[in-house]
Amino acid sequence: MRFCFAHDQGMEARNVLCYRSGGAKRFQWCRRERGPVWRRLGFVDRMAVLTSGGDAPGMNAAIRAVVRVGTALGVEVVGVSMGYAGLLTGQMRVLDARTVGGILQHGGTILGTARSPEFESEEGRRKALENLVTRGVEGLIVIGGDGSLRGAHELHKLGFPVVGVPATIDNDIPGTQIAIGVDTALNTAIEAIDRIKDTASSHHRAFIVEVMGRHCGYLALMAGMAAGAEMVLLPEVETRVEAVVDELTRAYARGKLHFIVIAAEGSALKAHYLRDYLSELEDGAFEARLTVLGHVLRGGSPTAFDRILATRLGAAAVEELRQGNSDRLVTYGGSKSNSVDIMKALGDRCGVDMPLYRLANMLAK
Ligand code: ADP
């Protein structure tokens, strides 16, 4: 089998498997070496799947869907271990329907995940591409967050067909309403905050709970609303420490027994600083405790929503590749899964839902 990149187009288009960067609209029809039929360019017989960046509950469900849907459609699916790092070292194995049995309910990813600085260089990406082509892989599905999807786009720019599946508990991919893992992380956060509230009420104490979210406060805002926190600190909204003290004073004056602040890790007012500041005020009258939920939010069995979302998006990704599409991100909006150009999906910064933020503040009174 030969690959023919965009700049080679025109030569032997009838006897080689060709693809172009630039999306489905520009695909041509051509004949495979073996097989008598003419097929649309980009039709794949062998695709690879990898998970990359931070893990998110539901990644396994997405891998399972890719493998089972791919297999059912006659496509061989190759699993790449340890994300882009595994592409560079050629860690690939064929996955069949049985190898993805019993993983649906587990958090993490059976393929493993990693961060690969080498892949960020063009030299690294060319090495990865060579490994894919050598193994006869004709398309790649990347399951991961913002960085992983940017990496997928770079691979597409070298002429290799890629489709992205959004998976990140931060929910910082504006092109999709929700990413795989967010719902599970939110439920885990709420369970933890409910427990913290019990002890906070008993001791009449302030608690600061830090959740993940470097650039995007989605998890903090939603957890704050769903768990009934008194305040939320988001990367997108500046909050002065004096404003927290004012709220805390007023809340205690209204007879509240506790004061719960949910802080996104990326908020300008840092959770550690706030804890120390409050504890040093008024001879300890505002003593505060800090709980960092951190990686706890990444683990655990995915919720039904995440399993279904991951299954639908995994299946949609296979279909996108089979149709000869590249540089697309499969997305979720309302009750539908769809797809959009990767860079368009990542392009805008995730903005906070201000009406919801105001509602959360109103409910906290
Ligand atoms: P996440 O996908 O969870 O956001 P990272 O931002 O750490 O995680 O990205 C995961 C990996 O994706 C990086 O280690 C790197 O190999 C690759 N990557 C990230 N950004 C780029 C980029 N701009 N170009 C190429 N590869 C990238």
Average pLDDT, the chain: 87
Amino acid identity at 91:
Q
pTM surpassing 0.85? yes
- For a substitution probing ligand 1, which of 59, 148, 297 has the most ligand atoms within 8 Å of its CB? 148
Reduced to 3 states, what is the DSSP secondary structure of residue 139?
A: strand
Token pair for residue 354? 């201000």
Among 282, 99, 279, 289, smallest CA distance to 193 is for 289
120 lines ligand 1 (CB under 6 A): yes
Token pair for residue 254? 């209204």
> What's the confidence (pLDDT) of residue 125?
96
Ligand 1 atom with least separation from CA of 168: 3
pLDDT digits (tens, 9 = 90+) for 35-87: 433 444 447 899 999 999 999 999 999 999 999 999 999 999 999 999 999 99
> What's the confidence (pLDDT) of residue 75?
95
pLDDT digits (tens, 9 = 90+) for 165-221: 999 999 999 999 999 999 999 999 999 999 999 998 888 889 999 999 999 999 999
286 pLDDT band, cuts 50/70/90, is confident
176 lines ligand 1 (CB under 6 A): no
> What's the confidence (pLDDT) of residue 23?
34
Q: Are 297 and 190 contacting, i.e. CB atoms less than 8 angstroms apart? A: no
pLDDT at 293 over 50: yes
**Active site residues per annotation:** 170
106 pLDDT band, cuts 50/70/90, is very high
Nearest-CA residue for atom 10 of ligand 1: 53
> What's the confidence (pLDDT) of residue 35?
42
Domains along the chain with CATH numbers? 2-180+302-346 (3.40.50.450), 182-299 (3.40.50.460)
124 lines ligand 1 (CB under 6 A): no
Alpha carbons 82 and 144: distance in angstroms, whole number:
12
Among 207, 209, 213, 188, smallest CA distance to 264 is for 213
Token pair for residue 298? 């990444």
Ligand 1 center from residue 159 Cα (angstroms): 19
pLDDT digits (tens, 9 = 90+) for 295-328: 999 999 999 999 999 999 999 999 999 989 999 9
Ligand 1 atom with least separation from CA of 54: 3
Strand ranges of the sheet holding 231-233, from the earlier edge strand across to the other edge: 231-233, 259-264, 206-211, 288-292
Q: Tell me which range, 10-24, 228-242, 270-284, is most confidently predicted by mean pLDDT.
A: 228-242
> What's the confidence (pLDDT) of residue 327?
95
Sequential DSSP letters for 33-67:
SSSSSEEETT--SEEEEEEESS--TTHHHHHHHHH
210 lines ligand 1 (CB under 6 A): no
Q: Which residue has the tokens 């990406």?
A: 125
Q: What is the dihedral of CA 337, 30, 75, 124, to 10 degrees?
A: -80
> What's the confidence (pLDDT) of residue 334?
66
> What's the confidence (pLDDT) of residue 153?
97
